[in-house]
Structure 1
């Protein structure tokens, strides 16, 4: 479903090339209901363009920058040369993600047992797009914080449950991985079991703090007494460092309560 409104000047848009003329290329702006736009030949590439087909062809998808919009006349001027490779990659990625998110939403709500109408689907889609800016961003947030994010927007719980299930199944959040080390010793006769339980508790505590399908994980490994490795997977380095520090402190404090001791090393000494 395309949007009814018009793009803004300076916006990057996905276009499908429809017809080539001597003066430029007519395109349909995919994200705006197929509204017609024109890439003048002077905006196709830097320098002189002798043959337009050397740069674009019919039915090709291209990323353009909006130069001018006249909604009254139904006219959009576009530029191909004003978009660099980095912008092109990012826009295509964003567009593909949005297409996937639309399919996920339909999968969640139009299949049994819900089978909502196309009107209801469009209403929920609009509600999510208005709240998050894009459907894909909405799905990412649902994975991070759970279905409550949807319910707070007025979406029925049964619909929120279905969307959340599809989200955690399909969305893979970006993540980073770091490791740290602890040295743990305990003089008691069952010291080995105390250390083992302390590390199990570290992993369990991290699981309890997770919300929704958030990209966060703590794992502990034995690498040779008295040293143990703690591996943390989180959404960014700042968060990962904080989780690693908390995990190490939790293990060390557990040992101290049982007459043992411990030390944390970001890297092996």
Structure 2
């Protein structure tokens, strides 16, 4: 989605069906100030169409591909059949996210006293969309807004809204540490090793769980797999290093990816 007043040819747009005729369907483009578009019957569905209303109806939300734009005549041709199910789902998800972001900007505008259109313009200029801004703020804090033209007051208001409304995606990876030591003080060596396996890593939560000697579970939760796997490797290496330097043995067996954490 963008700040442009007109869509580009090839772009996917969310539309509301306003009127269905025997030869075409007339729609409004939800993201472009309800500009009107036309879906010819040949672009409604593949194959021969006997009754157009078997495929499209008034009030329906549809995702279309832009085929032609004539700004002078204010005319937009669209295709419904050229959009597959995956594209439709992704576009609807994006549109819903942008709609939520616009509402959140309204909250920030009210809190900061800055007009919502000014905030939107500054964010579009930097990001090209709105929802990803809130994801970045929720993940990295309001410092991501330093390169925009927004005042500190607006940045703080946006950060507050992001913290209250955006759930930062998290993933979890885990694995087993196998630590053994035959030294008389082996228990203390293992304890030191496990303490070293919980380094402070930004945005990563590390948890050590006792499975049953000599096996200990490491679980790491982070914003993405790359960061989570880097953190778990660092934690495991630290623990194994302590044990090996004390004459013991250690190894790490990583479990398959477990998906997003709650």
TMscore range, shorter length? 0.7 to 0.9
Maintained 8 Å contact 2:13/2:65: yes
Maintained 8 Å contact 2:109/2:119: no
Would you identify which runs of 4 or more consecutive aligned residues in structure 1 move more than 4 Å?
A: 185-190, 194-198, 254-257
Maintained 8 Å contact 1:182/1:262: no
- Normalised TM-score (structure 2): 0.86
Distance 1:184 1:20, change over 3 A: same
Tell me the distance in 1 between the aligned counterparts of 2:120 and 2:150: 11
What RMSD over aligned residues (CA atoms) do the two structures have, in Å? 2.4
Q: Unpaired runs of 5+ in structure 2?
A: 256-262
Instruction: Give 1:30 deviation, angstroms.
Output: 0.6
Structure 1 window deviating more from structure 2 (120-129 vs 237-246): it is: 237-246
The corresponding residue for 1:176 is: 171
Instruction: Give 1:125 deviation, angstroms.
Output: 1.3
Name the SS of the counterpart of 1:103 in structure 2: helix
Structure 1 window deviating more from structure 2 (243-252 vs 88-97): it is: 243-252
- Normalised TM-score (structure 1): 0.84
The corresponding residue for 1:127 is: 122
The corresponding residue for 1:213 is: none
Answering whether residue 145 of structure 2 is matched by residue 150 of structure 1, we say yes
The corresponding residue for 1:243 is: 231
Instruction: Give 1:263 deviation, angstroms.
Output: 1.6
The corresponding residue for 1:9 is: 9
Distance 1:196 1:71, change over 3 A: farther
2:214 pairs with 220, 226, 237, which one? 226
Maintained 8 Å contact 1:129/1:138: no
Answering whether residue 253 of structure 2 is matched by residue 266 of structure 1, we say yes
Task: Kindly tell me the number of residue pairs found equivalent between the two proteins.
Answer: 253
